[in-house]
Structure 1
Amino acid sequence: MSASNLLVELFVEELPPKALKKLGESFAQVLAESLKSQGLAGGDSVVTAFASPRRLAVHVTKVLAKAADQAVQQKLMPVSVGLNAEGQATPALLKRLSALGAGPEAVASLKRLPDGKAEALFFDSVKAGATLSEGLQKALDETLAKLPIPKVMNYQLEQGPGADFQPGWTSVNFVRPAHGLVALHGDQAVSVSALGLVSGRSTQGHRFEAKVNPVVLQNADTYADQLAQEGAVIASFEARRGEIVRLLKLAASKAGTNLHPIDDDALLDEVTALVERPNVLTGRFEDAFLEVPQECLILTMKANQKYFPLLDASGKLTNQFLIVSNISPDDASAVVGGNERVVRPRLADAKFFFDQDRKKTLESRAAGLSKVVYHGKLGTQGERVERVRAIARGLVESLGQASLAASVDTAARLAKVDLLTDMVGEFPELQGIMGGYYARHDGLGDQVAQAIEDHYKPRFAGDELPRDLVGVVVALADKLETLVGLFGIGQLPTGDKDPFALRRHALGVIRMLIERDLPLAVEPTLRQAAASFGDKITDATPALTDFIYDRLAGSLREQGYSAQEVDAVLALRPQRLADIGQRLAAVRAFAALPEAASLAAANKRVGNILKKVEDAVEAKVDASLLKEPAEAALYESLTTAGAKAVSAFEQGDYTASLQALAVLKTPVDAFFDGVMVNAEDAALRTNRLGLLASLHQAMNRVADLSRLAA
């Protein structure tokens, strides 16, 4: 079979920029996988995705003109049904063969093979491999159906040459109106259709700067080069992104010493999706705007204009910004001037909001939170703030940090007030940040201002934690109030739906407890938080506790711990999460010991024995009832090793605590080999169960070692 490289391109109107990257990846991946599943491409075929504002395309190497024929074996029916007593075909068998395109002559070639307890008849045939035109049509249909389109457009097809529809009579649903389809196998066009289009070999270049339009493609391999040279388009998303990064760095170096553009991958992806051939220009704004907090200026330039603000070596905003343009005029002054005129009113608005907001103190606005609804079942933001304050007071008390009480309470009381300011009303992303600026302006001091600014942290995976303990307490109280309240009214995350970001809040709580080494027990802390709601909610502490430990387990596995290690530690539900790392390290060290497997299996066996006992077994041993040498030896070893393990555990040396138990392997093995636990004598049986309960208690102080058993 002849193999050549394949190029498929769908030419459309401007695609939604925030979705372009995923659209391009999906278009390439699904189409290539479909070709592979049909035998038209192999596992060694190289797939290259292309995505620009006006096109989705894919290049696949080593694509066959026709897939190889396939031998197919089909089960027909049991022998007893297909053949009569004389071995002749029954009408049922002949009918089945006819449906497969075979006649009575095929009966002799049928195979009799075992099928469960009986034999069945099997028919061997050859399925013709798909031609590229057939296979590509199927792949293209499947690809378009599976595109992750954020919002579908409905448009009517235009009547074209040879079209079998009338204008306005046929509607199409797609992300944007499509105007061209290319399919080339080597230098040969492949006939396929989609969205009312018939494939050809011509595409369109840059709207304004293409040297040739349309661009007639020579073959599948010249696609990227021809678009770049003739069409002034960088078709590859990644190549275009890399070019933008290069041009941004170059422009920054020309703008001043040690200047660099803001680092923002999401903005970079969005701008990459807005231009076909990037050109980076430098603009300026008046120094007076730098009096406004730089977060405000940066956000308005990024969100509204898609500019890259320039920062100095210390990360401070300068009055220069970079524009990624889609055109490269000989004289760019008009483009730069136009962008400077556009950004100026945006910055002026930010300055106006900042100046107006500072005319009122945060304190004077606080009462307004009572008029802002937080949740229909949980009341207003004002009520929420009172709950956060109550939770924060409890945390301060539990932590023994009475000296921080006043600062914590002030920060908790004012943390949400910036929601009522003009700046946050315009830019919700600045909540907390603006509260910190306004708190400093009001003379509340850095500690309170930082806590207000930091109380939303961590906002996302990998985000930094609040800078000091005041901020940690307020952030913890805020997240606990959200988790406890929403769980208490049944607003739990389901599947991939988590509208209140409860998973992120839970991970934030976990990170603060662990990374700030807070001596807080999980369940008592949750119950204390639930008490602040009064009768507004049902106490859902058990469900919320499970949720937190589930999130912790997932996080630990992502950090490289094995499922066994995580299960062993979390099975005990350690209340002080700051100890988790030490426990995991101890379990890993224990698992490396030669005695570990045997002791883990023994621990599992002990647990199973104790579960079968109807009454609770007390971990208590009467030495006078130890009749067998093996049980006496185990008791003696357990007494000695157990004391060492307890001492190490109480000192926080979990590794030493577990390793002290390694000496129990031999006496434990001997016990199970030579001692009957369920003795007829009730006193002996109770004493032996007590010995096992003592062993179980000693072995499961740091982690549930039975989870390490194979």
Structure 2
Amino acid sequence: MTDFLLELRSEEIPARMQDRARADLEKLFVAELEKAGLKAGGIVTYATPRRLTLIARDLPEATAALSEELKGPPADAPDAAVEGFLRKAGLTRDALETRDVKGRATLFAVIERAGRPTADLLAEAIPAIVRAFPWPKSMRWGAASVSTESLRWVRPLQGIVALFGDAVVDCEVAGIRSGRETMGHRFHHDGVVTIGSAQDYAEALRAAHVIVDQDERRAMIRARAAELASEAGLTLIEDEGLVAENAGLTEWPVPLIGRFDPAFLDVPPEVIQLTARVNQKYFVCADTDGKLANAFVCTANITASDGGAKIVEGNQKVLAARLSDARFFYDTDLKVPLEKQAEKLAKIVFHEKLGTVADKVDRVAKLARWLCEEGIVRPSPLPFRGGAGGGGVPQAGSPVGRPHPNPSPEGEGLSQEQLADLAERAARLCKADLVTGMVGEFPELQGLMGGYYAAAQGEHPAVAAAIRDHYKPVGQGDDVPTDPVTVAVSLADKLDTLMCFFAIGEKPTGSKDPFALRRAALSVIRSVLANNIRFSLDDSLETMTDVIASGRTDGERQARRDELDGILLNEIATGDAGLVWFFADRLKVQQREAGVRHDLIDAVFALGGEDDLVRLLARVHALQAFMGTEDGANLLAGYKRAANILKKEGGVPEGAGTNPSPAPAEAALIAALDAAEPLAAAAVAEERFGDAMAALASLRAPIDTFFTDVIVNDPDPAIRAARLALLARMRDAVHAVADFSRIEG
């Protein structure tokens, strides 16, 4: 068995493309091996800024000889059919065999294929891999680039190392011939590096100041950056994305620590971190109090003779210029009240069918106030403390935090009227920072900068916090807002987006969700459940359509509302589900990780009228616990048997009455239903879902005995009808808790 080495050397490969390129290289190589019937014992891939490498372990010296059989036409088939088969097989008529297939003489071709040297197959595979490589962006270069047929690569391809064992795999791609020579570090090594085989590849390049293993470079950066921060009495703010990016920019990484003017710390810490990270690829540090320190760690690509002093000095100058720009944006934005900034939103189109961002803000403000006035979002009984996402010790991979400006004072909770006023105020200002200079430079800071500006301009702390956090929760790991003002604005913003895009028919389809509606629905669900918000989705969405339809004449408004009701709340004639069903589908996704069965959510939701997400989920949890018991499993089996009988018999005959002389098992089931039905109904009404399941459990033994002792299809039509009616009653009693027909098992 022999190892194979392939290195494709080029000008700088963007760091963001390197991991995907390694995966693509392996995928293409494995596909070429499979064509030849080969499989490597193992494959490793490496990427640096200047090279993409694959090493395949334990390949055979040659492929095995193969014998292939092809079934042809019947022996008495027309000559044209036989000749066509001969052309396909590449044989003559006398080379065919005749075999009996189901009593008919049939022609067969037996083709012997000799084994081929693996090196020859690799020589054919390399050009195919290079030309088929799926770079996200690629280029042509040189004189050949005048033709669209010329080679495309991410950056100009400069060399190919291809070694099978210690022998060169001879091939050529666009005038670049393979060999065993590559280049070392651009500055630390002059001349070529000669590779003997795959075994000495990594060490030969290490001697030339190139560390080919991206994981090793990442570990070096991670460890040394943390060490430098620690030596300075600081803590490195961990950022794995930045580690990977710096590793993708360097072949010989050397982290260095520098400082910036502490006067810049007056700028919000998130701005400093983004300026350092996005523009310069620097790590930042926190002091012992968890606050941003005036220190950064950059990653050089060389070991400088002066220990990196000049490199640090240059980077400090560049960062100072960037931070000066950031401070200019911050100071300039602060001079303009958010109310004035918000006026500019009327010039920004939100969607061609939904008006401007100012139109959206108006809708969100009305919805936020309505959510508060209806008591859907209620004042917190505890003093307001700034909501979710406030300052503190920064978390790994997140912006450095610090206590938000003007934290709210201790005091009594808000009244419902105060809550509504503050929610509307926050909603009318929540998008104003979109037109600020800072957010224009760093879109990632939308909301956050609005919160800072609102606090600095004297807005109520609850308003500032709501502006800052109203986009939350954005992802699965994001904080869920808990302050009522923030919750109201966050829900209103996302509900408006969902309702409006559903209203114009822009629903997610398949894997496409250009307006992130699935994420918005998941965010609403997480906020509702985390804050125990009780409201009917159906009723609330229906009422909210009035807000969307406002601003029209009475006739237009009613027509628009009727249209929205049909789109949002009902099953449409096309079969598409409305928005309420969309929420149910997202709830199944959201609860999957918590181990909640999707069929049980369907079973509760399908009954209709159960669209209070908090109550629905409590009901599902009780149902799941019940279905995990023997009583639950047996009741489900009995239910399905009853449902199948009713379906087969076409339901309950019209005019069915009760059996005047019921069999003992029949009478026992009637008595059990008489006891269980009111208990289950009362328990559901009082949201004691565990008790409702216990009431259903009492039906298990009677229904089992009924099916054992009673013949439903009695010869007497009246008795038969009465027993079918009893089964229908049992089914309906179960349906008071959940639609068991939707439960799997």
Q: What TM bracket, shorter-length normalisation?
A: 0.7 to 0.9
Q: How does 1:510-659 map to 2 (within 5 A)?
A: 510-534=525-549, 538-539=563-564, 540-542=567-569, 543-562=578-597, 564-565=599-600, 567-569=602-604, 571-572=606-607, 574-579=610-615, 581-608=617-644, 625=660, 627-659=662-694
Give yes or no for contact 2:680–2:737 (8 Å, CA) kept in 1. Answer: no
- 62-71 or 173-182: bigger deviation: 62-71
Cα distance in 2 for residues equivalent to 1:246 and 1:603: 62
What's the RMSD between the two structures over aligned residues? 3.2
Contact 2:596 2:621 in 1 (8 A): no
Aligned to 2:29: 31
Q: Is the 8 A contact 1:179 1:197 kept in 2?
A: yes
- Is 1:219 aligned to residue 197 of structure 2? yes
**Mapped contact 2:656–2:718 kept (Cα < 8 A):** no
- Do the aligned partners of residues 347 and 674 (structure 1) sit closer, same or farther apart at CA in structure 2, a change above 3 Å counting? same
Q: Between Structure 1 and Structure 2, how many residues are aligned?
A: 684
Letter in 1 for 2:568: T
Q: Work out the percentage of aligned pairs sharing the same amino acid.
A: 38
Equivalent residue, structure 2, for 1:132: 118
Structure 1 residues 31 and 343: alpha-carbon distance in aligned structure 2, compared to 1, 3 A threshold = same
- Once residues 305 and 657 of structure 2 are traced to their aligned partners in structure 1, the CA distance between those partners, rounded to angstroms, is 97
Pick the aligned partner of 1:321 from 284, 287, 296: 296
Equivalent AA in structure 1 for residue 254 of structure 2: N
Q: Could you list the per-position Cα deviations for residues 238-266 of structure 1 after superposition, in whole angstroms to 9, with x for gaps in the alignment? A: 2211211111111111222xx22223232
Q: Secondary structure at the match of 2:44?
A: strand
Structure 1 residue 391 corresponds to structure 2 residue 367:
yes
Instruction: Indicate the residue corresponding to 1:192 in structure 2.
Output: 171
Structure 2 counterpart of 1:82, which letter?
A: A
Q: Residue 493 of structure 1 aligns to which amino acid in structure 2? A: P
Contact preservation (8 Å) 1:435, 1:452: yes
Aligned-partner residue type, residue 46 of structure 1: G
Pairing 1:413-492 to 2, within 5 Å after superposition: 413-492=428-507
Q: 1:313 deviation in Å?
A: 3.9
Partner of 1:206: 185
SS at match of 1:360: coil
Shift, 1:152, TM fit: 2.3
Could you give the per-residue CA deviations for residues 251-287 of structure 1, whole angstroms, max 9, x where no partner exists? 111222xx22223232222222111111111111111
Q: Secondary structure of the residue that 1:486 maps to in structure 2?
A: helix
Q: Could you tell me how far apart the structure 2 residues matched to 1:694 and 1:646 are? A: 14
Deviation, 1:316, is: 1.5
What amino acid maps onto 1:250 in structure 2? E
Are 1:369 and 2:345 matched, yes or no? yes
CA 1:560 to 1:196, structure 2 compared with 1: closer, same or farther past 3 Å? farther
Q: Deviations over 1:610-663 (max 9, x none)?
A: 567878999x99656563443322222233344444454445443453354334
Match of 1:72 among 63, 68, 71: 68
Work out whether residues 282 and 321 of structure 1, in 8 Å CA contact, stay in contact via their aligned partners in 2. Answer: yes
- Name the structure 2 match of 1:405: 420
| Cα separation, 2, equivalents of 1:69 and 1:561 | 54
Aligned 8 A contact 1:310 1:320 in 2? yes
Alpha-carbon separation, structure 2, partners of 1:120 and 1:653: 74
CA–CA distance in structure 2, aligned partners of residues 444 and 569 of structure 1 = 44
Conservation of the 8 A alpha-carbon contact between 1:153 and 1:175 = yes
More displaced, 685-694 or 370-379? 685-694
Shift of 1:484: 0.9
Cα drift, residue 482 of structure 1? 0.8
Name the counterpart of 1:100: 89
Q: Offset of 1:217 from its aligned partner?
A: 0.7
In the aligned structure 1, how far is the partner of 2:181 from the partner of 2:56? 18
Which residue is 1:508 aligned to?
523
What amino acid does structure 1 have at the position aligned with 2:484?
L
The code of the aligned residue for 2:228 comes to A
Does the CA-based 8 Å contact 1:21-1:269 persist in structure 2?
no
1:151 maps to a residue whose letter is K
Over 3 Å counting, the alpha-carbon distance change for 1:337 and 1:645 in structure 2 is: same
CA distance in structure 1 between the partners assigned to 2:317 and 2:168 by the alignment: 48
For 1:154, what is the secondary structure of its paired residue? coil
TM-score (normalised: structure 1): 0.88
Q: Which amino acid aligns with 2:118?
A: L
Is this contact kept in 2: 1:178–1:195, CA < 8 A? Answer: no
| Structure 1 CA distance for aligned equivalents of residues 201 and 653 of structure 2 | 77
| Residue 513 of structure 1, CA deviation | 1.6
1:339-358 to structure 2, matched below 5 A, reads 339-358=315-334
Q: Which of the numbers 693, 696, 703 marks the counterpart of 2:728?
A: 693
Provide, for residues 125-156 of structure 1, a one-character-per-residue CA deviation record: whole Å limited to 9, x for no partner: 33344532343355445544664422221223
Q: Distance in 2 between matches of 1:674 and 1:214?
A: 91
- Structure 2 match to 1:82: 75
Report 1:26-65 matches (<5 A).
26-36=24-34, 38-42=36-40, 45-65=41-61
Determine the C-alpha separation between the residues in 2 that align with 1:617 and 1:225: 86
Between stretches 432-441 and 511-520, larger displacement belongs to 511-520
The 8 Å contact of residues 556 and 566 in structure 1, kept in 2 or not, is answered as no
Unaligned runs of 5+ in 1: 159-165
Describe the SS at the equivalent of 1:388: helix
In the alignment, what sits opposite 2:141?
155
Give the secondary-structure state (helix, strand or coil) at the position aligned to 1:191. coil
Q: Which amino acid aligns with 2:69?
A: Q
Residues 308-330 of structure 1: per-residue CA shift (max 9 Å, x gap): 11122443111110101112202
Counterparts of 2:143 and 2:623 in 1: how far apart (Å)? Answer: 66
Deviations 1:369-410 (A, max 9, x none): 223221111111221111111221232214263242122111
CA contact (8 A) 2:119 2:164 kept: no
Residues 369 and 421, structure 2, Cα contact 8 Å, conserved in 1: no
- Residues 621 and 691, structure 1, Cα contact 8 Å, conserved in 2: no
- Give the distance between the partners of 1:521 and 1:483, measured in 2 at CA: 16
Deviation at 1:551, TM superposition (A): 2.5
> Structure 2: how far apart are the matches of 1:347 and 1:492?
42
The worse-fitting range, judged by mean Cα deviation, of 360-369 and 234-243 is 360-369
Question: Counterpart of 1:161?
Answer: none
- Give me the whole-angstrom Cα distance separating, in 1, the residues matched to 2:108 and 2:615: 62
Asked if the contact 1:391/1:528 (under 8 Å) is kept, the reply is: no
Secondary structure of 1:532 counterpart: helix
1:264 aligned to 239, 245, 260, which one? 239
Residue 18 of structure 1, CA deviation: 1.5
- CA distance 1:583–1:106, shift in 2 (3 Å): farther
Distance change >3 Å, CA 169–CA 549, structure 1 → 2 = closer
Counterpart-to-counterpart distance in 1, 2:31 and 2:84: 36
Shift in CA distance, 34/488, structure 1 to aligned 2, threshold 3 Å: same
Gaps of 5+ in 2: 379-415, 550-556, 570-577
Q: Which residue number in structure 1 is paired with residue 702 of structure 2?
A: 667
CA distance in 1, matches of 2:364, 2:692: 39
Shift of 1:709: 4.2
Q: Deviations over 1:392-441 (max 9, x none)?
A: 12322142632421221111111111112221122221111011111111
Cα distance in 1 between the residues matched to 2:650 and 2:362: 48
1:156-195 matches, cutoff 5 A: 156=142, 171-195=150-174
C-alpha distance in structure 1 between counterparts of 2:371 and 2:128, whole Å: 55
